[in-house]
Structure 1
Amino acid sequence: MNLILLHPGELDQQGQARISDPRRLAHLREVHRATPGDRLTVGVQGGKMGKAQLIELTRELAIFALEPLTEAPPPALPVHLVLALPRPRMLARTLEHVTALGVKDITLLHTKRVEKSYWQSPELLPEKIHQHLVLGLEQARDTRLPSVVLSKGFRPFIEEQLPALLGERRGLVAHPGMPMECPRGISEQTLLLVGPEGGFIPWEVEKLQEAGCQGMHLGPRILRVETAVTALLSRLF
């Protein structure tokens, strides 16, 4: 945890923050080994970052005195990530990784090769998604939570959501065997679509291309979804 991320509701009128959730308290004690008087990096969810002095730390409560928070969070990547829903354990890691890299718009999509049972996973509960996003923000020292949308039908996505998403974005579909190599170092607003394990089926690739997306590849190696997404974002931006 490289940032103590504070919810606005944890702040009081006296410029102090009070933390009572067990996860952050345990991290302060066991990882930071914090003691009263320590100055740690904090940030307010959706706001700015800076330093705060630890005033009190018990097993039930941490109290910080905030210094002026003047540091802006790092810039977001210019990308909306559309990710075919991975298996639950991989979803958790992927959400944390892409949040740490600066993705702020995420759509989780159903495709032919996505197991329907994945949509019943507890990892898709709002509180679980929020937990993984927060872990990504804490890792990267960021304060702005991504937006996550669940899209459980491929055809409705193509017909109802994709045209608007492509309105001011370049659409790129990552899929093995495409003739174009993944671009490097782009800065334009981008819609990046990544398939499930096994990739999109040919019909899905065809429909995405018909809608205006370009197919691209990362090379001859077949990568796990979490590895592929990280590699794509790093190479593109």
Structure 2
Amino acid sequence: MNLILLAPGDIEHGQQACIRDPRRLRHLKEVHRARIGDSMTLGVAGGGIGRGELLALDEEEARFALSTLNTPPPPPLPVHLVLALPRPRMLARSLEHVTALGVKTITLLHSRRVEKSYWQSPELAPDKINGHLVLGLEQARDTVMPKVNLAKGFRPFVEDVLPGLLETRRGLLAHPGMPQACPRGIDEPVVLVVGPEGGFIPFEVERLLEAGCEGIHLGPRILRVETAVTALLARLF
């Protein structure tokens, strides 16, 4: 992790932070090979970033003396990502990647080619989702947690939710065979819709276009979902 993300409960008396969870302790020891006196980058969830000096590290806890945590996190991307729910292993990677890139609003959407069993995956448990988001924030030195919404019905989302989102955002549907290439370097708020493996079925494409989305493509290659999302975000912003 490039940043040690602190929960408000980790901070004691405003001057020190104490970490006790096994994951972060293990990372400090095995990856950072931290030693007493090391200065490390810390950030408070939802707040600023700064430095902290490691005062103690053992099997039970790590304790830091905090400097001023007033450096703002990197700016977010102006995008609401609507992603057809990937299979569980791909979902984990996708959440980490898009969080590291600065996406702050994610809707996981059902579609015809999404297996119903995916919605029963342990990866959708709030603590599991939160864990993947934290990993993305730590990678990017960010502190602002994304919001993840679950949309288990395609038609209710497209008919009842999407029109409101598109009132203030440009809608882009990334789908193979669309006539327009993905734009580059835009500076306006966007709803980016990405389908499942195999893409949306024709009915779903029609509904999304009718709702106001523009169809775009990334060229003739068929990409895995996490690769396509990363490439789309990098090209758009």
TM-superposed deviation, 1:14: 4.5
Q: Does 1:155 align with 2:155?
A: yes
In structure 2, the partner of 1:17 is 17
Matched-pair contact (CA < 8 Å) for 2:52–2:64: yes
Letter in 2 for 1:71: T
Structure 2 residue matching 1:99: 3-state secondary structure: helix
Does residue 221 of structure 1 match 2:221? yes
Question: Partner of 2:180: helix, strand, or coil?
Answer: coil
Question: Which whole-Å deviations, capped at 9, do the CAs of 1:179-209 have from their partners, x for residues lacking one?
Answer: 0000000010000000000000111110011
TM-score by length of 2: 0.99
**Which runs of no fewer than 5 residues in structure 2 stay unpaired?**
none
Q: CA deviation at 1:163?
A: 1.1
Q: Tell me, in whole angstroms, the C-alpha distance in 1 between the residues paired with 2:187 and 2:114.
A: 31
Deviates more, 1:9-18 or 1:145-154: 9-18
Tell me the amino acid that sits aligned with residue 33 of structure 1.
Answer: R
Contact kept, 8 Å, 2:159 with 2:211, in 1: the verdict is no
Write out per-residue CA displacement over residues 35-75 of structure 1, whole angstroms, 9 at most, x where no aligned residue: 11110000000000000000000011000010011210000
The alignment of Structure 1 onto Structure 2 pairs a total of residues equal to: 237
Cα RMSD for the two superposed structures: 0.5
Aligned to 1:194: 194
3-state SS of paired residue (2:82): strand
* Matched AA of 1:163: P
Q: Residue 46 in 1 paired to residue 46 in 2?
A: yes
Moved over 4 A (4+): none
Secondary structure in 2 aligned to 1:33?
coil
Identity of aligned residues (%): 72
CA distance in 1, matches of 2:149, 2:214: 23
Aligned residue number for residue 137 of structure 1? 137
**In 2, Cα distance between equivalents of 1:59 and 1:2:** 22
Q: Which range moved further: 157-166 or 72-81?
A: 157-166
Query: 2: distance between equivalents of 1:78 and 1:61?
Result: 38
The code of the aligned residue for 2:210 comes to E
Map Cα deviations across residues 120-166 of structure 1 (whole Å, 9 max, x no partner). 00000000000000000000000000000000000100111111111
DSSP 3-state at the match of 1:96: helix
What amino acid maps onto 2:108 in structure 1?
A: L
| 1:7 counterpart = 2:11 | no
| Unaligned segments of structure 1, at least 5 residues | none
Q: Residue type matched to 1:28 in 2?
A: L
Q: Structure 2 counterpart of 1:86, which letter?
A: P
Alignment of 1:121-132 (within 5 A): 121-132=121-132
Q: Distance in 1 between matches of 2:70 and 2:123?
A: 34
